Structure formats: C-alpha cells, structure tokens
Amino acid sequence: MTEVLADPSKALSNAELLAGGSATPELDPETTAELAPLPSSQTISQRPRRLRRTATLRKMVRETNLQISDLIYPLFVMEGENQKVEIASMPGCYRYTLDLLLVEIHQASELGIGAIALFPLIPETQKDNLGTESYNPQGLIPRTVQAIKQAIPEILIITDVALDPYSSTGHDGIVEDGKILNDETVAVLVKQALAQATAGTDFVAPSDMMDGRIGAIRQALDAAGWTNVGILAYSAKYASGYYGPFRDALDSAPKFGDKKTYQMDPGNSREALKEIELDITEGADILMVKPALAYLDIIWRIKQRTNLPIAAYNVSGEYAMIKAAAAQGWIDEKQVILETLISMKRAGADLILTYFAKEVALILQ
C-alpha cells in the first residue's frame, strides 16, 4: 500500500491549535511562549507562596499552633495490682491498676502533659441501678485521686461525674420503667462530685447530660467549702456512634436502648448554644464539645458566644479510625494525628482531651 502524506498546506497553525483545533502536532516552544506569555510581576500583585518558601517562614506565620499544654490525657484505671491490659479496639491504650497508672502519669508529666482525665473500670459486683458505688469515699476513683496527688502533686486531675460506669444498666442515670430519671440522678451526681472533691480532684467533669446538674453540683461544692474545685462541663455531648471503643474500655455500654433521650441529636446546633448558655449560667468553668471531629462547627459557634475556655474531646472512635488506617499503611499516622488535633484548635478549642497525648508530646518535643 502506498503511504499518503498529508497536505502541508492544510496543517493547523499553532494559533489554531491553541484555539481548539483537532490536530495534535508537536508545538514549537518558542512560538507557544510568544502566544501565551508568562505572567509578569505587574499582573500578579500578591504571591502567597512567598510565605511558604521555607520551614522557618511557614512556622513563623502559622495561624494555629498545637502545644503540649493544650493536651489532656484520658486514662483508664481498674482494681488490682501490677496489671496493664490493652483495649482491643483502642491499640496503644490500656486499663491500668493504680500502681502502673502512677508510672504512666509520671511519664506523661515528664513529657510536659499537665492534666489527666480519669475513667474507672468498675467490677460488675459493685454496680447497681442507683450507682451507689460512685460516691463511695473509699471507691476506686477517690483512692486513685489521693494516690496521684501524693505521688505527682503537680498534675491536674479531672474526674468524670456520671453513673454509667457504676450502673447495672449501663446508662448515665437511674432507670425506672425503662426511663432515665433526671432529678433523682442529679442528686446522686452531687454526692459523686463531693466524694471526688474530698479526695482532692481539681475538676469534676459531669458527662451525663442531665438537666440542671451543673448548677446543683456548683452549689453543693460551694456549700461544702470546695470553691476552688472547678467544673469542666460536657455541655454539648452528642448521641454519637464514635463512643464504641470507650464503652469497650469501661464495659459500660447500655444494656437496653440508647442514650438519645439525654444526649444531643447530631443534627442540632442551636440546641448546643442553649446547653452552653445554661451551663455558663449554672457555674461551669470550662465547656466541652464531644465528639470533636464531626462537630467542629459546634466548637466554632460556641467560640463566638463565650469567653470561657472550650475543650474538645478527640474521642475513642476518632482515635481507633486513625490507628486502624495507619496499621494498614493507608495514612501517615503522625501527620494525620497532628492535622486532626490542629483542626480542633483552629475551630476554637483551647484544650483537647486525646488518647494521642503522649504520642503528640513526643512529636512536639
């Protein structure tokens, strides 16, 4: 077969090609440069990349910085001695007996972490519907607080106020005929907060979402002389699917139903503002949003409404997802941890409860 050569006179010009011609001959770089001149300094008045040129420059102009002092380290304590049990759904997190918990807290303190949040694993034999073990002055949390204050007095201790770890039903309140009783539960929460204050806690942290509990606890603390004990209020705590691994850690999943009659609906944001306004009025010192990552908009909206410090809880499900993806090699774990926590600060959080606290402290050293 004889090869037929295209007529050179019908070849598209460079100008036609740039205008959308269908032929695709190789372009002459010099001709292309003439047709599409590079922008001059007169046409680009701002060059944001100038401020990204070096690591030093990027750090100097960074708008949001994560610091070790921002971190609160949640820890799980259990009865016994010389035991450290890993939580299967939270790789790298453990339940500690008190002796080993003190070692862990000492290490965290040496890394610059200044605050911890305590959560107890209560034996089934000590659980009941009324949560009576929650205010036992010789219970696990009061004994733990006393031991920490004696061994590591500089660490700030935050203790959880809620009935679910102590409840035979796994709910945050007293149950009657399948319903969670509000005022009766608040009366028990007050006793729990007083027991923790007497033991030496720095902050009580009501996480139950019962109506009126912040005011009742504040009044009781003040009346008992504990005016310096602060309240970190779980002000906007949502009924979330991100809590699963935490409930594994404490064996505190509800035995029936769910927590939607007292925790907030994930679709609501104005309700969060109402909750924080009530908590401020009732005497909260710090406001908390939980979970954090799916609720950054809530943190931002609350930040616009108050000058009180805002805490964000980087919850167990958020932790577990990062750990799982990193274990598969799908993400750079350190980079994603830092990016996640910085997003919370950028949204307006002043403090972050995170199971990554020690890892982040090591990164930021």
Question: Does some domain include residue 264?
Answer: yes
Q: Which residues pair with 72 in a beta bridge?
A: 115, 353
Cα 144 off chain centre by:
24
What is the rounded distance in angstroms from the CA atom of residue 59 to the CA atom of residue 215?
43
Check whether 24 has a pLDDT greater than 60: no
The DSSP bridge pattern shows strands 351-354 and 71-78 to be parallel
The pLDDT score that the predictor gives to residue 67 is 96
Q: How far is Cα 355 from Cα 113, in angstroms, rounded to an integer?
A: 12
In our burial notation (b when 16+ CB lie closer than 10 A, e otherwise), range 83-119 reads eeeebebbeebbbbbbebbbebbeebbebebebbbbb
115-121 and 174-176 as β-strands: parallel, antiparallel, unpaired?
A: unpaired
Q: What mean pLDDT, rounded, does the chain reach?
A: 90
- Residue type for 254, please? P
In a domain, 92, yes or no: yes
Instruction: Say how far apart CA 169 and CA 47 lie, in whole Å.
Output: 60
Query: What is the predicted pLDDT for the residue at 18?
Result: 41
Q: pLDDT value at position 255?
A: 79
For the entire predicted model, the pTM comes to 0.86
Q: What is the pLDDT of residue 19?
A: 45
Among residues 79, 225, 180, the alpha carbon closest in space to that of 138 is found at 79
Give the pLDDT confidence of 325-361 residue by residue, as tens digits.
Answer: 999 999 999 999 999 999 999 999 999 999 999 999 9
Is 56 part of any domain?
A: no
Any domain includes 22? no
Tell me the C-alpha to C-alpha distance, in Å, between residue 141 and each of 77, 198, 229, 260: 8, 11, 16, 27
CA angle 170, 264, 70 (to 5 degrees): 90
Q: How confident is the model at residue 10 (pLDDT cuts 50, 70, 90)?
A: very low
- Does residue 18 belong to any structural domain of this protein? no
Quick one: which of 247, 157, 167 has its CA closest to 205? 157
Range of the domain at 330: 68-364
| Residues of the chain above pLDDT 90, percent | 81
Q: Is residue 46 part of a domain?
A: no
CATH number, domain containing residue 177: 3.20.20.70
| 27 within domain boundaries | no
Dist. CA 317–CA 42, nearest whole Å: 51
Q: How far apart are CA 13 and CA 166, in angstroms?
A: 82
User: What is the number of structural domains in the chain?
Assistant: 1
Q: Which residues contact 143 (CB under 8 A, 6 or more apart)?
A: 98, 199
**What is the average pLDDT across 120-146?**
96
Q: What percent of the chain has pLDDT over 70?
A: 88
Confidence bin at 32 (pLDDT 50/70/90): low
pLDDT digits (tens, 9 = 90+) for 185-203: 999 999 999 999 999 999 9
Query: Annotated active-site positions, please?
Result: 237, 290
Whole-number pLDDT of residue 222: 98
Q: Say what the pLDDT of residue 170 is.
A: 87
Q: How confident is the model at residue 232 (pLDDT cuts 50, 70, 90)?
A: very high
3 state SS of 175: strand
Q: Which residue has the higher pLDDT, 284 or 21?
A: 284
pLDDT given at position 5? 46
Residue 117's nearest CA partner among 201, 3, 229 is 201
Query: Is 12 inside any structural domain?
Result: no
pLDDT on residue 4: 45
- Give residue 6's pLDDT: 46
